[in-house]
Structure 1
Amino acid sequence: MDMIYTHFLRLAASEPLSLKPGEPVRITIENLSSVLCCTPRNVKFILRKLEEQHFIQWKPGRGRGHHSELTLLQSLNDALEFNFTALLSKGKLKEAIELIGSVKIDDLMREKLMATLHQQMGFRSYTETASGQDTLRILRSRQLGDLDPVSVYTAFETYLLGQVCSTLITYDADTDTFLPALAHTWECNSDHREWIFYLRKGVRFHDGRVMTSQDVQASLQRLFETNCSSLWLYRDIKQTDVISDHCIRFVLHHANRFFLHLFSCIRMTILPANHDSNQTLVGTGPFQITEMSEEVIKLTAFDAYYGIRPHLDQVHIWFLPEPASHDGYYDLPGTDRLSLPGSNHETPHYIDYPALGCQYMLFNFHAPGCHHQLSFRQAMRIIYDPVTLVNDLGKNRITPSSSFLPWKSAARHWKSASLDDAQTLLKQSGYQGEPYLLSYKKNKDSDVAEWLQQRARQIGLKIELEPFDDYLDVVKTSDAPLILREEILEDDWQYGMIHFFKNQSNTLHEYITPEIQSIFDDVLDEFPRLPHSARTELLEQAEGLLRENGWMLYGCHMNKKAELHQSIYGMQTSEFGFLDISKLWIKNP
């Protein structure tokens, strides 16, 4: 950003100075030195430059006791918009994104700048060469999280890993079967205690090295060395035998009918045997990472990919400095471009893709309070009523939830609950009017938190709000007794649910007691050894414990949304409902 704009924006946005366009303000050099973070001598130089470019009018005070006068000739919004547009016109997308988060902006101006930025997203075709380069820009409303397969915990990062890396096999949700990936076939003995995978030949990592069985063995060993939170699922593995470069055998302590799920999940992403977690991630997937920073991650199609090369040549994912919108932007600008929300043109086209999972409320059983009483949790069940939640707030909250699985929730007969019953239960719990803190994700769940606060107030329950300023703070433990969160499951929903109940580092395990955890352990201990239908029954039993004891309150199922252009083809949903960018292609004019 031009420094002269930076200085002006600091002046115009300064709360202590309270400057308004056209209104002279008496001020001292010392005041300006503090705001501009420079010496008094430099202040005079900056003021001269600002005056030359008609940003301000400056009348220095004459003599002791006479104050100087400063008048803004432009508004903060005008200067901000002009500079923002200038940066975009020069292709300085990074600087433009940084500008949005550098000063306080009112909501209307933020929406205007976001609309302008949105127009820079989408498809770009560079035709300097005969082959051309097709690039897709995507805008994300938060910074990038952990991309290590061992510890990744958020849906978007898990999806992104699937574009950069590969597993031995993949799960196909439509047929509930497993498909070849890095392994072209596999087999097990009759008692499900010995599994052999046969690897494809000639598969290369992004750094050019050929993948072998040693990389598979090292990837599994890494789970144990890092004490991965999903380790319980791999406890049955007794030994790993590298039979050859393209054949690997796993010998188990016990029969395991769930074994294939463990080698199609993101934890068993195959990385090079010499993988360094401090270096850029190297995988075998359709895209390779060519640039990575806090502002952007750039993916380039991997020409040596063992599968079908992506149609797109590059995908640039830009991250905003703070949350703005939670829709995914895949829009492709063009002559017939669909307009943005709030514009005067035609309504944009959206694609909706419901994701498995739901929004829910947990209780922090490590914090003292009446929530240790079942009657209090039953009162909260009525306050956080799924039917009323969907009816009152709507948006992407599509159906009430009584399970992580939408088809289970749909089978239930729903009716609204009465707050009068909640008031009776609250009195039974021994509640004495003390405030209860509610932890939730800022912006995304603010409307739910305020809705809960208002409903609780009607029966005399005081709820105070604790928003997470940063999306990634969600992994930090809160002292709040009430926790509002969302869980999105993998397409392999059995894996997603057992991972939720057994993952030792997720939100559930942060807040339940060891006694509650032992109950789930007892119920689910035989899970891997059972056939599909019996595993389903165990998961239903575990969810039943959550409902009956009020340890977790289901809220609603959520719907994801992406804004699209008419010329995008090959639209398929990937893991967690995100669009599979490896399948997208653009119909050029």
Structure 2
Amino acid sequence: MDSGMQHYVQIHRGLRETKNADGAVPVTIEKLAELLFCTPRNVKFVLRRLEEKGWIRWTPGRGRGNGSTLVFLRPIGEVLEMKVDALLENGRMSEALDLISDAQVDENLKQKMWTRVNVYLGLRSEPEESSTRDVLQMIRGQRLENVDPAFAYTVFEVYILGQLFDTLVDYDTVSESFLPKLAHRWESNDDRTRWTFYLRKGVRFHDGRLLTSRDVQSTLYRLRRKNSPAIKLFGDVEDVETFGDYVVVFRLSRPNAFFLHLAGCLYMAVLPVEEKEGLPIGSGPFRIGKLEKSKLTLTAFDGYFGYRPLIDRVDVWFLPGIEQESRTYHLSDQDDVEDSKELSKPGMGCRYLIFNFRTPGIHHDPEFREAVRLLYDRHAIIEDLGGNLIEPAAGFLPSRSKRSVIPPSSLDEASERLRRSGYEGQTLQLVFMDRKQERLEAQWLKDRCSLVGLKLELCPQEISLCRTESESGELALATEMLEDDWELELLNFFLNEGTYLNRKLDDRRLAELHRLFDGFMGKEKAGRAEVFERAQALLEQENWLLYGTHINHRGYFNRNLYGLRMDSLGFPNLSRLWVKSENTREKD
């Protein structure tokens, strides 16, 4: 923000409530000096500059009893929009975002400025001496706090890390089978206790080092050394052996028909044996060019062994507090936001409410939990809030929900259950991630509970707290979204020590739940499906976790963006996106 703009905003902020009927603001030089934190002499210099810009009209008082007046000639919103546009045109995105964030204006005006930023964001071309670079720009409401695949937690972290790192195999959702990736071939012995992978030759990390079997071996050892929350998934692995540079063998303690799922999961994304300080090094299609508090830059990895991305650079700007219900991807040189195509995809997984059994309280009573189950009405919340909430959930898998009968709830029955539980009017804390949709749902639940006398205190938390907090609050509202390999994702939810489920259930309940998964990886698909069914049913029957709603991913894309494919997490495949130039389109 330049000094003239800053001065205008400071004066407007301090005087906007003191206007006369004719729009003039009575003010003294001394008052302006107080607002601008400068001397009376400098105030006159500032006023002269603002008059030259045509932003104010200043009439100094002449003679005893005649006070000075100031008239704002440009609405503050218009000035702010002008400044935002100028910053964006000059590529000063960070300053534009700071300006919007700091502006003390009403939400309608702030949203209007966000719309202007969204128009600028998207895929655009930057000229170079010999060619052009295609640059995709996005904005996120939460910062990227983790770039270590051993501790992947949020949906966006998983998405970004998937661009930076590669795994031995890749899961194909269409065929429900595994495809080659870092390994071009694999095999197991008859009882599936020994899995051998044959690596591609010539695969390089982002720093130029060749990827070998020792890197694969050290990646598993690293998970153990760092005590990754997902280490329980790899409990059957006794050792990893290397045979030359391109053969790696996993020896298991018992038969494991599920091992390819583990070989393809993000936790086993291969890192170099010798980790260097600084930015993380992977072998994926993009590498990190810059990682700052407010910005992440990904650049296409020209040496990628697979298909080199069609986008040359991705800029992700982090601005905590921005509210986005849907993601938008527009071309910066086109202002017709309405001329977009919508792409939507129902997400695998659901929103849910979970009780914190690691804290004492009334929520340990089954009658109380049943009362909350009735209050957390899956039909009513969709009817009242709508948006991306698309259908009631009876489990994490939409297929389970479709074959389940979910009756509407009764407030009278909820009130009776609450009375029988012995509830005495105490206030319970409801923890949730501090985002717009979660705030709406938390407030909805608080209002609904108040109808029967149940008191909730809303406790929004940042992502960093949600990662580790287990002892705060009696209830938590959360979301579990599953990637394409939903079996692996669901197993991870039940066994990973870092998930809400494993941090909120007490040791007795966790032991009962985890016993269901003993021998899980040795079963074929039908047997594994039965275990998942029993685990979801246990949570439902005991009301340890209350299923809420399934969610629809929705994005708006400019008509000239091609290669669109929304993944299970609701993001486009960055490696396949490309822009079709306006001059190649047929004329109407």
Q: TM-score, normalised by structure 1?
A: 0.91
Q: Contact (CA 8 Å) 2:482, 2:569: kept in 1 or not?
A: yes
Shift of residue 333, structure 1, vs aligned partner: 4.9
Report the counterpart of residue 446 of structure 1 in structure 2.
Answer: 439
The Cα shift of 1:365 comes to: 2.0
Partner of 1:422: 414
In 1, the alpha carbon distance for the partners of 2:218 and 2:210 equals 14
Greater displacement, 75-84 / 378-387:
75-84
2:353 aligned to 347, 355, 361, which one?
361
Q: Which moved more, 1:263-272 or 1:518-527?
A: 518-527
- The match for 1:171 is 171
Q: Take 2:68 and 2:332, find their aligned partners in 1: how far apart are those partners?
A: 49
Q: Is the alpha carbon distance of 1:338 and 1:62 closer, same or farther for their aligned partners in structure 2, counting shifts above 3 Å?
A: closer
- Residue 332 of structure 2 is aligned to residue 339 of structure 1: no
Corresponding position of 2:324 = 325
Letter in 1 for 2:316: I
- Contact persistence 1:30–1:40 (CA under 8 A): no
| Residue equivalent to 1:500 | 493
Structure 2 gaps, min length 5: none
Q: Does 1:404 align with 2:396?
A: yes
Q: Which runs of 5+ in 1 are unaligned?
A: 341-345
Identify which of 526, 532, 545 aligns with 1:533. 526
Instruction: Tell me the TM-score normalized by structure 2.
Output: 0.91
Q: Give the C-alpha shift of residue 29 in structure 1.
A: 4.6
- CA deviation vs aligned residue, 1:462-509 (integer Å, no higher than 9, x gap): 2232223x4544335262212111111121111111111111122222
How far the C-alpha of 1:97 sits from its partner, in A, is 1.3
Conserved? CA contact 2:120–2:333, under 8 Å: no
Q: Secondary structure at the match of 1:459?
A: coil
What does the per-residue CA deviation read over 1:177-197, in whole Å, with 9 as the maximum and x for residues that have no partner?
111100111111112111111
**In the alignment, structure 1 residue 585 sits paired with structure 2 residue 578:** yes
Asked if residue 487 in structure 1 is aligned to residue 480 in structure 2, the reply is yes
Of 461, 465, 471, the residue aligned with 2:458 is 465
In 1, the alpha carbon distance for the partners of 2:431 and 2:103 equals: 27
Cα shift at 1:445 = 1.6
* Aligned-partner Cα distance in 2 for 1:529–1:29: 80
Q: How does 1:182-197 map to 2 (within 5 A)?
A: 182-197=182-197
Displacement of 1:53: 4.3
State the match for 2:384 in structure 1.
Answer: 392
**What is the aligned partner in structure 1 of residue 98 from structure 2?**
98
Tell me the secondary structure at the aligned position of residue 137 of structure 1.
Answer: strand
Deviation at 1:13, TM superposition (A): 3.5
Alignment of structure 1 residues 11-50 onto 2, 5 Å: 11-13=11-13, 18=17, 22-24=23-25, 26=27, 29=30, 33=34, 36=36, 46=46, 49-50=49-50
Is contact 2:343–2:566 with CA below 8 Å preserved after alignment? no
How much has 1:224 moved relative to structure 2?
A: 0.8
C-alpha spacing 1:68/1:377, structure 2 compared with 1 (3 Å): farther
Alignment deviations for residues 200-223 of structure 1 (CA, whole Å, 9 cap, x no partner): 000011111111111111211110
Matched to 1:260, the amino acid is L
Report the counterpart of residue 513 of structure 1 in structure 2.
506
1:425 and 1:581 map into 2 onto residues whose CA distance is 50
Cα 1:289–1:381 change in 2 (3 A) is same
Partner of 1:349: 341
Give the CA deviation at 1:452. Answer: 1.3
Letter in structure 2 aligned against 1:404: F
AA at the equivalent of 2:575: S
Residue 562 of structure 1 is matched in structure 2 by 555
C-alpha contact 2:378 2:393 (8 A) present in aligned 1: yes
Question: Is contact 2:430-2:476 (8 Å) kept?
Answer: yes
- Contact kept, 8 Å, 1:145 with 1:154, in 2: the verdict is no
Does structure 1 retain, via aligned residues, the 8 Å contact 2:394–2:406?
no
What does residue 293 of structure 2 align with? 294
Match of 2:227 in 1: 227
- Alpha-carbon deviations, 1:237-276, whole Å to 9, x = none? 2122121111111112222222111111111111111224
The 2-side partners of 1:558 and 1:357 are apart by 8
CA contact (8 A) 2:139 2:318 kept: yes
Counterparts of 1:157-306 in structure 2, within 5 Å, are 157-276=157-276, 278-306=277-305
Please give the secondary structure, in 1, of the residue aligned with 2:151: coil
Hey, what's the Cα distance between the residues in 1 that align with 2:40 and 2:234? 65
What is the identity, as a one-letter code, of the residue corresponding to 1:142? Q
Deviation at 1:130, TM superposition (A): 5.0
Using the TM superposition, give the Cα deviation of residue 137 of structure 1 relative to its aligned residue in structure 2, in angstroms. Answer: 2.1
Q: 3-state SS of the aligned residue for 1:156?
A: helix
Alignment check: 8 A CA contact 1:216 1:270 kept = yes
Deviations along 1:67-100, whole A, 9 cap, x unmatched? 9876655443232122112212222122111211
Q: Which amino acid aligns with 1:354?
A: P
Q: Is the 8 A contact 1:215 1:271 kept in 2?
A: yes
- Tell me how many residue pairs correspond in the alignment: 578
Between stretches 510-519 and 459-468, larger displacement belongs to 459-468
* Cα displacement string for residues 94-146 of structure 1 (whole angstroms, at most 9, x for unaligned residues): 21112111222311111211111111112212354554322222232332231
CA shift in 2, pair 1:66/1:540, >3 Å? farther
Contact persistence 1:371–1:481 (CA under 8 A): yes
Report if aligned partners of 1:163, 1:287 keep a CA contact under 8 Å in 2: yes
Closer/same/farther in 2, CA of residues 67 and 210 from structure 1, 3 Å limit: farther
* Alpha-carbon distance in structure 1 between the residues aligned to 2:39 and 2:498: 49
Structure 2 contact 140–320 (Cα < 8 Å) conserved: no
Please say if residues 240 and 251 of structure 2, whose CA atoms lie closer than 8 Å, have aligned partners that are also in contact: yes
**Which amino acid is the alignment partner of residue 410 of structure 1?**
K
Per-residue CA deviation, residues 561-583 of structure 1 (Å, 9 max, x unaligned), is 11012222222233523211111
Identity %: 37
